Structure 1
Amino acid sequence: MSGTKNRRQGATAASPEPHGQDKEDARSNGSAQVAGDDMEDGGPRENIFLLWPNIIGYSRIILAVASLYYMPLHPRTCSLLYSVSCLLDALDGYAARYFEQSTRFGAVLDMVTDRCTTACLLVFLSSAFPRWAILFQGLISLDLASHYMHMYATLAMGGAENSHKNVDKSRSRILSLYYTNKTVLFIACALNEAFFIALYLLSFSSPLLSPSLLQTVPDHAAREAIQHHGAQVNSSLLKQIFTNPYSAGALELARANKMDSFWPWVLAGVSFPVMAVKQIINVVQLVKASKWLAEGDVRARRAAGLPRRRRKGKTA
């Protein structure tokens, strides 16, 4: 897309609409309109939903849904699909800058996809590690509340033209570094997801975290199928789930139980500090956004003459 094309689109999108539509509705971040909206000057039209960054976003959703399908019984396939979906998060941002196709829809699509995929993985971890379910539930709530509050505060207080990634250092140094430094943002998000993926793999490979992997079974043949680190294949579980113990699903589950837990433990250990910092950033983001909204409420109430002073001696 040429620079002349973008400047002409920006000038057109900023002009008043013939149908009385608010000017802000037409000023999306890419200054583009959805195909089908006629432009009086005969300028080019764009379908925001088919811009390259958004197409990449749809691909992320497809991969994420596919990973959820394989999540209960196919840890290797699930981890691969989930990881590729997360890595595409960096690619759509690059595409938006390269093609000059940054849009509000794309920004919201990206954030919603991130929140939903992480929440779905944490839901699975809650079922895999029931004792820690309340912790995973808390992480889901913190993640959703923090980003929603931050996005809403940015729109309400910073204006519709302001991006949620434009955080001034005077408001929060750590949030400014997190959102404005692309390297920091990528490492924080990637290792945060890597920690939860590592826990997911450990639920299939570590008897320390999943004692059910050590459960003895009556079948003599299954009792002889010892894993690399001593965990036994739970054939009774296979029989409960699969009518054919040699089906693709049953064999995949058996292979999963034979997974080596060494590398998942390494990944968990390396990514844990970054994951912890990411949660601290979520807390800071939630607190700062709450204070920002409260500041706006104070100014709005003062402008409205509130609270009203009551005369002395007047009863309520």
Structure 2
Amino acid sequence: MSARTRRQKAALAAEESEDSPSNGSVSTPSKRASSKKRARSAAREESKESKENVFLFTPNLIGYSRVVLTFASLYYMPLHPRTCSFLYTVSCLLDGLDGYAARYFNQSTTFGAVLDMVTDRCTTACLLVFLSSAWPRWAILFQGLISLDMASHYMHMYATLSMGGSGQSHKKVDPSRSWIMYQYYTSKLVLFICCTANEAFFIGLYLLSFSSPTLSPSLLQPVSDSQLSSAQPGNPAHPEPASLFASPWSAGALEMARANKLESTWPWIITGISFPIMAFKQFVNIVQMVNASKWLAEGDIAARRANRKK
């Protein structure tokens, strides 16, 4: 018997109980009408709930738009730094809007939480992959950041769902387990600043790969004929625009020419200001991974103890 059927029968039983004179009270037409009205209202609520589609909740629709914007930014990432940065930034800002929409419309769901986390992890990982190709010498550092971010959040989410229950949110952290994690997830302002500054740092590095000869010396180096066929991401002056686009007046060639004239002042400012917060965010990732590992180990010990008692 479904939960809906049981609740409907309970409502009918309550209605019959109120109508019955054996319950010690006198049944009046007004009481019977009120009881029937409540029963019909409960039935309408049940019907409304059964028609809800979690995939079309407002915060999840915002999450889908973030995925579209992310794919668009990845398309423009190799040669169009301005367009890519704009699309990527909008996608990151929408990350704060979906949480607000979930609270406002009372549409917080486990699917939405997982969608939000997966989108965040994949978006950051794709940008770090580009930075690895732009600066191969530092690829191991960017690969390590990808691994830390993925492992930390996966283990935290898995530990929360397996140890705390399927209805437990990964943002509800017991302060007795970690004061830092509790402050990080409880304060919406702290969480927003950390996530925003973390992405801003990597966006700044991305823009510097197009504008800073200090980090990308090939921006100042002339290109020989033998190098024209080897396009390197992050070095838009290598090769020349004409070697990639048939028409020098095409949108791609014009954007690439503009990329060569990017000013590095603002990217340096963004990177410098956001670096300390980015470093703190990586520290939080380490703490999160360690605490999740301890929580899972506690569950293993409890399970082994229970098995020995059988």
Q: Sort the TM-score into its range (normalised by shorter chain).
A: 0.7 to 0.9
Are 2:206 and 1:200 equivalent residues in the alignment? Answer: yes
Shift of 1:246: 2.6
Q: TM-score, normalised on structure 2?
A: 0.80
The CA deviation string for residues 225-250 of structure 1, in whole angstroms up to 9 with x for no partner, is xxxxxxx9837432332222332111
The reply to whether residue 121 of structure 1 matches residue 124 of structure 2 is no
Q: Structure 1 vs Structure 2: percent identity of aligned residues?
A: 70
Alpha-carbon displacement from aligned partner over 1:62-101 (angstroms, at most 9, x marks no partner): 1111000100110000000000000000001000000101
| Corresponding residue of 1:286 | 289
- Provide the rounded CA distance (Å) in 2 between the counterparts of 1:41 and 1:202: 56
What does 1:218-229 align with in structure 2 at a 5 Å threshold? none
Q: Cα distance 1:158–1:247, how it changes in 2: closer, same or farther (>3 A)?
A: same
Query: Is this contact kept in 2: 1:233–1:258, CA < 8 A?
Result: no
- Report the CA distance shift for 1:295/1:79 in structure 2 as closer, same or farther (over 3 A): same
Answer 1 or 2: which has greater helix percent. Answer: 2
Structure 1, gaps ≥5 residues long: 1-10, 16-38, 220-231, 309-316
Larger Cα-atom Rg: 2
The amino acid that maps onto 1:197 is I
Aligned to 2:24: none
Where does structure 1 differ by over 6 angstroms across 4 or more consecutive aligned residues?
none
Gaps of 5+ in 2: 8-43, 226-234
Residues in 2 aligned to 1:59 and 1:287: alpha-carbon distance in whole angstroms: 33
Which residue in the other structure is 2:299 paired with?
A: 296
CA offset digits 1:247-271 (Å, max 9, x no partner): 2111111111101000000000000
Equivalent AA in structure 2 for residue 192 of structure 1: N
Which residue, 169, 181, 186 being the options, matches 2:192? 186
Q: Give the alignment's TM-score, normalised by structure 1.
A: 0.79
Q: Residues 237 and 291 from structure 1, CA distance in 2 versus in 1: closer, same or farther, beyond 3 angstroms?
A: same
Question: How many residues are aligned here?
Answer: 264
| Cα distance between partner residues in 2 of 1:42 and 1:143 | 42
Give distance in 2, aligned partners of 1:42 and 1:271: 50
Q: 1:42 is matched with which residue: 42, 47, 54?
A: 47
Question: Relative contact order, CA 8 A, sep 6+: which one is greater?
Answer: 2
Q: CA separation in 1, counterparts of 2:46 and 2:212?
A: 65
Alignment of 1:234-249 (within 5 A): 234=237, 236-249=239-252
